[in-house]
Structure 1
Amino acid sequence: MQPTHEVIIVGGGAAGLSAALVLGAARRSVVVVDAGEPRNRAAAHLHGFLSRDGADPADVLATGRDEAARYGVEVVEDTVTAALPKDDAFTVELEGGRRLVAPRLVIAVGTADTLPDLPGLREGWGSDVLHCPYCHGHEVADSPLLILATHAGSAHQAHLLRQWSDDVTLLVNDVAALDEDAHATLRRRGIRVADGAVARIERAEDGALTGVQLADGTRVPANALFLVPDMEPPGVLVERLGLAMEDTPMGPAITTHDNGRTSVPGVWAAGNCTDPTAHLVTAASAGTLAGMDVNADIIDDELHT
């Protein structure tokens, strides 16, 4: 099958659209496939992005689409069901039945966040159930905060949150392993520790979080709860393409080097699928660098053919 484009970008978030913007401006034929489920879709505001602090994430992506479109980038709203190498190119199949072909592929699909199975938790994701102090700490500053331990390093998240509030409690939740030194450090910082498993999240009639109830019936009040979700990039792309993966403290990620190049020639990756900790501005930067490298790779091919 003949190529339909020079580059296919899977994922229309900050990383994917930044790569598209660079490649479109470089006069490449580019298509972005966007399933419309950005990782930050539950958040009302974004932070840490110079000139866009406090903006609605959906507005930022809409602006990015418009900017890319000015350079001829095509955006397809659909979901990728398969991506396969074939005849020195990649065939990307979409849920709607369309098939795209290009010799180069950029994976910018973010990562999936899986939350613990606790009643009342999912309802507040992005509003009062949060994960990033740098993204949301200022929004809930000076209020009672909880950290739900989801892995051994959750105590570090509690120390981070202490920067925004002097009323911080770490919920051990039968997960965090705290020795005497860890307990002493938390006490010295004024961070309380609640032992035992968490049974449920408590909410007021209007849906606002009011605290948690432990398995022994103890109530711990709070206005917001932080945790580190399980994170994993979509397997439909990783497995079928045979991309090398690596373990990070925040979950598995696609291995990249040299401005987003993966273990598979012709495939680049950028954003949270390569770095689960990347903020919006970091993902955008990675997408820009990947786009520039893709263009350089095309030129290198042109020089040697």
Structure 2
Amino acid sequence: MPDEEREYDAIVIGGGPAGLAAAMWLARYRRSVRLFDAQDPRNKETWAVHGYFGIDDPPPLELRRIGRQQATGAGAELEAAVVKTVEGAIDDFRVTIADDRVFRSRRLVLATGLKDIKPEVAGFDDFYGTSIWHCPECDGPTIAGKKVGILGWGESIAKYALYFLTWTDDLTVLTHSHPKDMSDEALKTLGEYGIGVNQKAITALEGTDGRLERVVFHDGTSEEFPFLFFHVASGPGSTFPLDMGCEMDDEGIVQVDNNFQTSIPGVYAAGDITPGTRLAIRAAFEGTRAAIGVHKSLIPEEEKVTQERSA
């Protein structure tokens, strides 16, 4: 039987830690599962995934390779493919991929992640992932005691900058000519901790061999910064949760229950698109929890022991 004529217990969309963990655990529960991965991970530029228990700083693509090996070894089916549309309802979902093949499943797991909006600054891509990052929890320990620039603007950048005091107190907010747009309280707090605010427009980022050395400003001046973090904006990696009517917040983060089921019956979500910190190890945990939720939802009622039946 061609794959697209089968009905799977679950289809997983997204091949990062959340999606791969979900696929692996669903297969371990002897559920038929197929995972589709567009192969465009959010952290592909980063040199390593930090703090992942049991593995010492693997490159992101290596971690995914290990995850794919484990998932297929457990019996999951994986395919590199872009999903075009997701339709249907619980017990009868239809997933159409780029070549117009349609796959059916009883449950869905959305693990489509987030995408970061990067600032448009000359030289940014030369250092992104080696000395420019976006995740404090992931790369904060790397810059302990070092001088760090925080690129971004608005009220949220003050909170973001203060978070880095966990690792260093040599911090400067770089607004890249944007208005500070911070409350008096935020500015006062930054000042109390010695965090400066530089509003000059940035002309370029310079360095050698992928290592940032300095920020060059529009007025011809420059300042040495060995590291930058940025916080501009991020958004959902796909529109599927919105298309399906999942309950979401203003930033596109999907609300889930204790079993990681969304507000749409039969649709589960895990990883960066759900509330919480953006850590790979957390995403894998959530993928596992979502898989358990899916598995339990597929157990026939007659196999369950309820209080009434056991009394």
Aligned equivalent of 1:4? 7
Whole-angstrom distance in 2 between the partners of 1:43 and 1:301: 46
Write out aligned runs for 1:284-303 (5 A). 284-300=284-300
| 188, 195, 208: which one aligns with 1:191 | 195
Q: State the shift of 1:270 in Å.
A: 0.5
Against the structure 1 CA distance between its residues 232 and 180, is the aligned structure 2 distance closer, same or farther, given a 3 Å change threshold? closer
Unaligned runs of 5+ in 1: none
2:156 to 153, 157, 175: 153
In structure 1, what residue type is equivalent to 2:159?
H
Partners of 1:146 and 1:226 within 8 A in 2: yes
CA distance change for structure 1 residues 240 and 160 in 2, over 3 Å: closer, same or farther? closer
Partner in structure 1 of residue 73 of structure 2: 70
Change (3 A) 1:170 1:4: same
Contiguous gaps of at least 5 residues in structure 2: 305-311
Mapped pair 1:272 → 2:267: no
Equivalent residues of 1:81, 1:236 under 8 A apart = no
Q: Are the structure 2 counterparts of residues 86 and 170 from structure 1 closer, same or farther at C-alpha, using a change threshold of 3 Å?
A: closer
How many Å separate the matches in 2 of 1:21 and 1:44?
Answer: 25
**Cα deviation digits, residues 214-255 of structure 1 (max 9, x gap):** 3444423201111124221134413432222113xxx32122
Contact 2:255 2:275 in 1 (8 A): no
Q: Is the 8 A contact 2:204 2:217 kept in 1?
A: no
Partner of 1:230: 233
Q: Which amino acid aligns with 1:289?
A: R
The one-letter code matched in structure 2 to 1:290 is A
TM-score with structure 1 length normalisation? 0.89
State the number of aligned residues: 300
**What is the CA distance between 1:2 and its match in structure 2?**
5.5
Q: Could you tell me the percent identity over the aligned residues?
A: 32
1:133 to 123, 133, 136: 136
Partner in structure 1 of residue 45 of structure 2: 42
Alpha-carbon distance, 1:97 to partner? 3.5
Q: Which residue of 2 aligns with 1:116?
A: 119
- Residue 91 of structure 1: aligned partner: 94
CA distance in 2, matches of 1:78, 1:229: 29
Instruction: Quote how far apart the aligned CAs of 1:79 are.
Output: 0.9
After superposition, the CA RMSD in angstroms is 2.4
The TM-score with structure 2 as length reference comes to 0.87
Deviation sequence 1:9-49 (CA, Å, 0-9, x none): 00111111111121111101011111112221111111122
Aligned mates of 2:148, 2:167 — CA distance in 1: 9
